Homo-oligomer: A and B are copies of this chain.
């Protein structure tokens, strides 16, 4: 018996970040598999669960639900060492949770998804524009990490989990990360944390054929 249910797509890094946190907090949960390529997010039932039709969704035992992966991280990490309890530290975490969804995910995760599903040709102008954005993200991270071991509040937190989820996939989006040494050191520090897991699965091999039915975008 568990009090948490996670509606979860195994190949989504937004879902992976929640699974990673749950593992590090040693929390039990029920995992409900959602296949975005098989129309699972397009049903009326899923729309009632999440009008934005995104994954993941966290459902509590009392029926309340939370959407937006980084908001789910916030709820789960509250009161644990993975979320500071002072206003300034919380605001620093908040800054990275926002930047992750406004810049890191679209520039790296969005690019990777569009390449895998064939929406972008690798050398198209659209792909190049996102790749430029991805390098800007990596420059911001590299500069920030010049004087810090972790992104916020001088410690490993959900800010690192959130940004790691898509940032560590940059090479799969055709972005050369070899110049960003501090970034790589930081990836390694994240991977060295207790109970770190990486259970992200690849997109299905026929993702480019399936994508026409997907609403991810």
Q: Indicate the size class of the contact surface on chain A.
A: 20 to 34
Is A143 interfacial (CB-CB < 8 Å)?
Answer: yes
Given known A-B contacts A51-B140, A102-B101, A72 and B88 have beta carbons under 8 A apart: no
Which of B51, B79, B92, B144 has a CB less than 8 Å from the CB of A71? B92
Number of copies: 2
Q: Is the interface of A mostly helix, strand, loop or mixed?
A: helix
Structural contact, A98 and B95, CB atoms closer than 8 A: no
Instruction: Kindly state whether residue A117 has any CB partner on chain B within 8 Å.
Output: no
Tell whether, in the assembled complex, residue A66 and residue B51 are in contact, meaning their CB atoms are under 8 Å apart.
no
A24 in the interface, Cβ–Cβ < 8 Å? no
- Given A60-B88, A66-B95, A68-B95, 19 further pairs, Cβ under 8 A: A51-B140, A51-B143, A52-B140, A66-B88, A66-B92, A68-B94, A68-B98, A68-B99, A71-B91, A71-B92, A72-B91, A74-B90, A75-B87, A75-B88, A75-B91, A78-B91, A98-B101, A101-B101, A102-B106
